[in-house]
A and B are shown apart, each in its own frame.
Chain A
């Protein structure tokens, strides 16, 4: 095993950061920047032991700088965009040599702010792509789906799919006959999360069958007080519906799979590569709310089938989204970039 690495980073998305820092704990320590934009949510995820808080970047102390970016960083005034740009400037003002690696969990899809015209069917904006890649500036970029890699069309990049610890996601044998979704009610864009689609599905289910789909965290639906309650709710839910269109590999879907929910998902961003329709989940097109509503309600009425498919989905998640695979993907990348020696 090579020399232990020191990595400089800021907090960004606590769940992803936690997975990354913990996965790399055998080979790396992290200096996390104290900043006024992004905090560590220690109520839900304790800070891993291989982490220390730092006030600034110190030349010679780090082997790698990891910066986060996504399509919102194209908006100059937005807090996280300021943080990423400032950190890049701070590092490069004193150190021209340290490798900078960008983690980009976004896509070049942001029609609310970047509509290049109506000719596109996949909503990818070339203008947005250019703006983000200008910030990345030739450095290496890690994305989190193969479709995202294709959409960014940036050679110096690869997809590393998240990896979780199944032990952190309880799976109950007691399943309530309910369906749920956890998608941010605000932020980025409606098309990205396909919120309008979700709302249409919810309306149809309510009107046709009187079923209240639980959009977790929104008014009138289940509001967890913390991650413990959220995990418990998922572990007892029968069906999980993922409506997203451009969100590459939502971790909420993986969490639901690990919790044993029967997954109904749109096919975008690689989903169709690990969900076999009717076997370990169900695929529904992202533009047909009637069909999606029908699949969900049919599953809620066919309890045993939904439970069985949910368990097969869990097995898939344990295999595809394992922490070990994720760790090895990162180690391979750091080795390929000659930052780490295995």
Chain B
């Protein structure tokens, strides 16, 4: 039961990464159809208490954000669950403090079948790209002067506009059909870490997606300076791509989710 279906919205990142990509590689699973009978329901960030109470099969809460910080009654909801899955150790540690249920880490991974082949790099970098939800775009504010100093253009792929006069900026609305091409149209992914608040619970899924697309990921000014050179970018991209291909394949998540389901005896 995906968060985006519950909210009746499209293109929610967590539903794609932690829901749809697994469903696509898991023939025995499907998006929840209201009225249909199931043996297991995975509530992906969906707190439908009435269903959680009444459903007799296996119940797993998949949570990728510290929703209790927003006032959701997580502990009460967990009373109705059999297991919890999370993408990071930080979330596992936090949730384990208020439940005795088993909490399993299933990292965010990537459906490799759905991704473009990795980009090939050459020449001096011209364009950096940031992608993500607009409520997270404030991480860019501190980078703009350096982007300008290096003579780069910043492309922002997001659900909401980001603008500033401090450096040249192109804005592109995130679209499921074009986001990969838009990223690969650039030379470097700029994904500075937020090191406070709720961001501490987040998984590095954007970094992994960028690596699968053959994009070097800059976190700091030093990274940016290094990736200005085409050979450096190609070397970094190749190394990261082979790591990501090995470690970020969503098929691993499918196996891990199957193990979680099998561990629940009903």
B33 within 8 A of A: yes
Taking a contact as CB atoms under 8 Å apart, the answer to whether A36 and B37 are in contact is no
Inter-subunit contact A34/B36 (CB<8 Å)? no
Q: Does B72 contact A (CB under 8 A)?
A: no
Q: Which residues of A contact B50 (CB under 8 A)?
A: 34, 53
B54 touches A53 (CB 8 A): yes
Q: How far apart are the CA atoms of A55 and B37 in the complex, in Å?
A: 8
In the complex, A57→B38 CA distance in Å?
10
Could you tell me the distance between the alpha carbons of A82 and B37 in the complex, rounded to whole angstroms? 17
Say whether B139 faces chain A, with CB atoms less than 8 Å apart: no
B34 engages A90 (CB within 8 Å):
yes
Task: Give the contacting residue for B54; candidates A55, A58, A86, A94; CB below 8 A.
Answer: A55
A34 close to B37 (CB less than 8 A): no
B33 contacts A89, C-beta separation under 8 Å: yes
What residues on B are CB-neighbors of A86 within 8 Å? Answer: 33-36
A82 to B38, CA, bound (A): 19
Query: Contact between A36 and B5 (Cβ–Cβ < 8 Å)?
Result: yes
Known: A34-B50, A34-B54, A36-B46. A57 touches B8 (CB 8 A): no
In the bound complex, do residue B35 and residue A77 qualify as a contact, i.e. CB atoms below 8 Å apart? no
Q: Is B48 an interface residue (CB 8 A)?
A: yes
Task: Check if A288 is an interface residue, CB within 8 A of chain B.
Answer: no
Indicate if the CB atoms of B37 and A94 lie closer than 8 Å: yes
Asked whether, in the complex, the Cβ of B8 is within 8 Å of the Cβ of A77, the reply is yes
Interface centre among B1, B34, B46, B51 (most CB of A within 10 A): B34
CA distance A77 to B10 in the complex (A): 9
Contacts of A90 in B (CB 8 A): 33-36
Chain A CB within 8 A of B243 CB = no
**Pair B34/A33 contact, Cβ less than 8 Å:** yes
Interface residues of B in 1-40 (CB under 8 A from A): 1, 5-6, 8, 10, 33-38
- CB within 8 Å for A35 and B34 given contacts A53-B50, A54-B54, A55-B55: yes
Establish whether residues A36 and B36, one from each chain, have CB atoms under 8 Å apart when the complex forms.
no
As a 0/1 sequence over residues 47 to 88 of chain A, the CB contacts with chain B under 8 angstroms (1 = contact) are 000000111111000000000000000000111001100110
Does A339 interact with chain B (Cβ within 8 Å)? Answer: no
Shortest distance between the CB of B11 and any CB in chain A (Å):
12
Q: Does A342 contact B (CB under 8 A)?
A: no
Where chain A touches its partner, the secondary structure class is mixed
Decide yes or no: A58 and B34 within 8 Å by CB, A34-B51, A77-B8 being known contacts: no
Q: In whole angstroms, how far apart are the Cα atoms of A39 and B175 in the complex?
A: 32
Q: Which of B190-237 contact A (CB under 8 A)?
A: none
Indicate if A28 sits at the interface (CB-CB under 8 A): no
Interface size class of B (residues with CB under 8 A): 10 to 19
Interface assignment of A93: CB less than 8 Å from any CB of chain B: yes
Residues of A within 8 Å of B54, CB to CB, are 34, 53-55
B39–chain A nearest beta-carbon distance, Å = 11
Question: What's the minimum C-beta distance from A81 to chain B, rounded to whole angstroms?
Answer: 10
CB-CB nearest in chain B for A78:
B8
Which listed residue, B10, B34, B48, touches A87 by the CB 8 Å rule?
A: B34
A165 within 8 A of B: no
Given A55-B54, A55-B55: A36 touches B48 (CB 8 Å cut-off): yes
Which residues from chain A contact B51 at a C-beta distance below 8 Å? 34, 36, 55
Cα A77 to Cα B4 in complex, Å, equals 12
Interface readout for B36-78 with A: 1 if CB under 8 Å, 0 if not?
A: 1110000000101011001110000000000000000000000
> What 0/1 readout, one digit per residue, does chain B (73-114) give for beta carbons within 8 Å of chain A?
000000000000000000000000000000000000000000
A58, B35: Cα distance in complex, Å: 9
In the complex, how many angstroms separate the beta carbon of B155 from the nearest chain A beta carbon? Answer: 29
Task: Pick from B46, B54, B56 the residue with the most CB of A within 10 Å.
Answer: B54
Contacts of A87 in B (CB 8 A): 34-35
- B1, B34, B35: most-surrounded residue (chain A CB, <10 A): B35
Residues of B within 8 A of A93 (CB): 36
CB-CB nearest in chain B for A8:
B35
Binary B-proximity of A86-109 (CB < 8 A = 1, otherwise 0):
110111011000000000000000
Chain A's closest residue to B1 (CB) is A36
Alpha-carbon gap, A87 to B37, bound state (A): 11
Measured CA separation A55–B54 after assembly (Å) = 7
> What's the nearest-Cβ distance from chain A to residue B48, in Å?
6
Query: Interface readout for B234-245 with A: 1 if CB under 8 Å, 0 if not?
Result: 000000000000
Determine if A218 is an interface residue (Cβ-Cβ < 8 Å).
no
Q: Which residues of A contact B33 (CB under 8 A)?
A: 86, 89-90
Q: Which residues of A contact B1 (CB under 8 A)?
A: 36
Q: Nearest Cβ in chain A — how far from B158, in angstroms?
A: 21
In the assembled complex, A37 has its CB within 8 A of some CB on chain B? yes
Instruction: Provide the residues of chain B in CB contact with A34, threshold 8 Å.
Output: 48, 50-51, 54
- Taking a contact as CB atoms under 8 Å apart, the answer to whether B8 and A79 are in contact is yes
A58–B10 Cα distance when bound, in Å, is 30
A33, B35: Cβ atoms closer than 8 Å:
yes
Can you identify 18 A-B contacts, CB atoms within 8 angstroms? Answer: A34-B50, A35-B34, A36-B34, A36-B48, A53-B50, A56-B36, A56-B37, A56-B38, A57-B35, A57-B36, A77-B8, A82-B8, A82-B34, A83-B34, A86-B34, A86-B35, A89-B33, A94-B37
Given contacts A57-B35, A58-B37, 5 further A-B contacts (CB under 8 A): A36-B51, A53-B54, A55-B55, A82-B8, A90-B35
Binding site for B on A (CB under 8 A): 10, 33-37, 53-58, 77-79, 82-83, 86-87, 89-91, 93-94
Closest 3 CB pairs of A and B: A90-B35, A90-B36, A87-B35
